[in-house]
Chains A and B, each alone.
Chain A
């Protein structure tokens, strides 16, 4: 037994989309076999007839045709009531849509009118060039924190940047301070006259923190990425950064921090540096060159500023007989500096980032076993050890495991560690490290790179680590020499 309702209503108008929607909704009700709610145009009347819902008499397109067929009277009455309700319903509506968040750097920059502006890119390496290229195309500088970016992409980006008159900092650039704004890992340092160009993130952090401790501020710290001074990249960003700082009225001195550049590149950098109006001093880590602390001291002398006592909490445990140096670093440049200072005293130091290839030490990230390897310095920030995990300045797990393993082995050791404070870093590194050092019970020396103004507070961290038995130094060179002294006293 089926039931049907067909009516023509005058003075009701709704557009066809609305009506098709009503038809669909009512048609989905239980017991409803056919629905047509439509303006009574000849086409729709014909459709209705085909569905067995033809209206009686003549219909005009100004009328609303409501045709419903259902399995029984109850279902029919409910369906017709549903049509009435649906027709009476006002659509929920707002005047504006929520803004759609930008999916790409290009879109975000398109909507940004502020100037100056730059982009910070820390997406996975294979995709970093996409986002960085957006910034360059938009005439904005960009810091690329990501590593794993193919070198040819780096060259292409930096060439495009030079053409666009912008700077590509990175890839693999961890640190920059632009007009007081810290990007990536950077410390809260005072503003001042020294501009830093850094191919090394932790190196830049070390020099800017020491300058700050001496009461001297920085104008900008411009990172260029660890590969910029290679022959392949040719110092593209270093040269551009030097020129930018030379043109910056706030910058009176320039300090370039890097590992030894490719010889051809070193020449180009030296030539450019000599041509600038602003005096340039270089901190190039190498066997024949002064350490970072020494360069900062020389720069202070240039500026007529007295070299202070660098902050320190000396003391700590004595080294047992036969101890080896075990350096556990998060900063690559600081690890290099430690090896460069230790090698003349201790002889060979093995490392996953060795001074010479034959000293290479392969570290298994799942079980960082350092026993019976002699003197070692490990850089936990090396790409091979950060695959699938955060940088050790954020995630200390791997290094804490290594400390426990060293403590558990039969080989006596002096631990030498860096702890880097500042924006982006672990909010309280001593909270995990101090108990680990206390439990290890080994003599430990910490290079604590940071400032009092850092979120973690240099003294607060230093006190916590000293209380755990560690000797703490603001200068990595001093920390390394202290560790060497401990080993020397034990020999």
Chain B
């Protein structure tokens, strides 16, 4: 025991009189800014804190997250990659019914039905969806993720990413760009025209280009570089998108394809500053998949929203969803849209925060904090706070302004309860009304209920394991 080897430095939590007495003796004292846990039954919290499996389980889980890699190995239609049968649509967030779906989710589902030719009019599509004629399933149930509505239909092309370390694949559809797009709930003619072009031209070109690359693109490396270039990988993907363009361009140009098509593809990629988001998300998904199913671990493996509910999964509770009402983001609006036009939080893109970037790496992208009228110090403070919610720092995702400290990675449900701080998510905002499209972007947090439920379930599991 090294306790007796010399005068100890002291960390003090609780009554001030003891810290004062220690300081009076000239001892080195660090005061904890302690306050009662924000939620959770005291017995549940203690059961988790004292679960003898927890420390090792969390170490195992977070080490898998940190070790995970991400290689772009293929581009294929969702029909093939996700085994989507006809009349099945994937969506973002926890499970959802048509009845409970919000405006933008309905808009995207309608658009997908029109795109797939399952309905010829909006009314037909609504009737089809309302009658249960289309199977709805979360992307997360298929090792897939999708930004905003996340609606993925059989004919849409998907990025196929592979984790060379832990094995496994993750998938995401192709990013359509900004403004009136399906993922934001728009389904007009321009949306369907673009989706058809992506299906008929862009997807096949990307598939051939990716397959022709001598070395598969190391997407994790691109994500790491983005953080050095002012992106946080969720709301700001400018550098990452340009790097993706740089990596893909030679292969696209070298294809024996009509130059008009290649030019259109390059123009499309170059003109879409969120193009990389759909590569970053499955990269994060691969890492979080690696941490799934570690008994005793309180690490969060999924943060996701479907526009109605926010859903959380943890490493210690498998596929179980813990849900609460999705909150409405606070931020800035396009044109003359305002807060009343915004739909509640939507999208699988919070997988970025789950992985420790996005809102957690706010310090790397100070521009983002101005979405809520904040300052650069606010961005730094947000990231500093997130370090207190997380189990590790990801050395691969270094934040320059913090002296290249690794991004705060691996949200601990117990830490969320104890600090009272909720994970900070950067997000786009879809219009509340189906067909509107994007209305702004901003910041949002999960509802506390998700973590309350997760904590109770983890504690129950810990007690059962201790008793066994």
Contacts and interface: CB of A to CB of B under 8 A. Distances in A.
Given A18-B370, A100-B388, A101-B31, A120 B2 contact: no
B325 interface: no
Contact of B37 (A115, A130, A179): A130
A247 B7 contact: no
B336 A21 contact: no
Interface in A22-38: 23-24, 27, 34-36
B214 interface: no
A124 B5 CA distance: 30
Nearest to A99: B384
Interface string B19-34: 0011011011011111
Given A34-B336, A94-B376, A108-B11, A182 B385 contact: no
A178 B49 CA distance: 26
Contacts of B377: 93-94, 96-98
A150 B46 contact: yes
A127 B367 contact: no
B46 A116 contact: no
Contact of A51 (B36, B335, B380): B335
A122 B418 CA distance: 16
Given A51-B336, A108-B30, A118-B10, A20 B385 contact: no
B25 A181 contact: yes
Contact of A179 (B4, B35, B50): B4
B388 A117 contact: no
Give the one of A17, A50, A118, A123 with max B CB within 10 A.
A17
Contact of B4 (A97, A106, A131, A178): A178
Interface string A2-32: 0000000000000101101101100100000
B427 to A, nearest CB: 14
Give the one of A116, A240, A424 with max B CB within 10 A.
A116
A119 interface: yes
B388 A102 contact: yes
Contacts, number: 232
A184 B334 CA distance: 58
A95 B400 CA distance: 12
Given A116-B3, A130-B418, A424 B17 contact: yes
Contacts of A123: 13-14, 34, 36
B332 interface: yes
Given A104-B32, A133-B50, A127 B42 contact: yes
B371 interface: yes
Given A36-B335, A47-B334, A167-B3, A116 B381 contact: no
Interface string B340-382: 0000000000000000000000010001101101011100110
A178 B3 contact: yes
B409 to A, nearest CB: 14
B47 to A, nearest CB: 9
B50 A156 contact: yes
A178 B27 CA distance: 11
B336 A121 contact: no
Contacts of A244: 1, 3-4
Contacts of B32: 101-105, 107-108, 131
Contacts of A307: none
B329 to A, nearest CB: 13
Given A100-B381, A117-B9, A157-B50, A424 B4 contact: no
Interface string A222-248: 000000000000000000100111011
A129 B18 contact: no
A127 B18 contact: no
Contact of A181 (B27, B178, B335, B336): B27
Nearest to A163: B52
A345 B261 CA distance: 107
B254 interface: no
B50 A103 contact: no
A166 interface: yes
Interface residues of A, number: 90
A183 interface: yes
B35 to A, nearest CB: 7
A1 interface: no
B367 A43 contact: no
A35 to B, nearest CB: 8
Contacts of A111: 30
Given A123-B13, A455-B24, A21 B370 contact: yes
Contact of A248 (B4, B10, B22): B4
A127 B36 contact: yes
B6 interface: yes
A153 B21 CA distance: 28
B381 A98 contact: yes
A124 B36 contact: yes
A165 B10 CA distance: 18
Nearest to B2: A116
Contacts of A150: 46
B332 A107 contact: no
A352 B10 CA distance: 35
Contact of B3 (A24, A50, A92, A118): A118
B332 A24 contact: yes
B334 A20 contact: yes
Contacts of A51: 335-336
B24 to A, nearest CB: 7
Give the one of B11, B33, B440 with max A CB within 10 A.
B11
A184 B18 contact: yes
Nearest to A161: B1
Contacts of B415: 104, 106
Contacts of A153: 46, 50
A146 interface: yes
Given A21-B373, A117-B8, A112 B30 contact: yes
Contact of B18 (A50, A137, A183): A183
B465 interface: no
B88 interface: no
A100 B18 contact: no
Nearest to B34: A123
B10 A92 contact: no
Given A21-B370, A424-B21, A141 B1 contact: yes
A137 B25 CA distance: 27
B422 interface: no
B28 A114 contact: yes
A247 B1 contact: yes
Interface in A41-75: 43, 47-48, 50-51
A91 interface: yes
A112 B42 CA distance: 27
B388 A130 contact: no
A71 to B, nearest CB: 15
A104 B34 contact: yes
A95 B10 CA distance: 30
A398 interface: no
A94 B13 CA distance: 30
Contacts of A23: 332
Contacts of A146: 14
A52 to B, nearest CB: 10
A255 B46 CA distance: 33
A315 interface: no
A233 to B, nearest CB: 14
7 contacts: A24-B332, A93-B376, A99-B384, A118-B11, A130-B414, A145-B15, A167-B1
Given A114-B8, A117-B11, A145-B14, 13 more contacts: A20-B334, A95-B401, A107-B32, A108-B13, A114-B28, A115-B9, A118-B10, A120-B14, A123-B14, A141-B8, A167-B3, A178-B3, A181-B27
A-B pairs, 8 with minimum CB distance: A122-B14, A97-B380, A114-B9, A126-B42, A101-B33, A20-B332, A423-B21, A133-B49
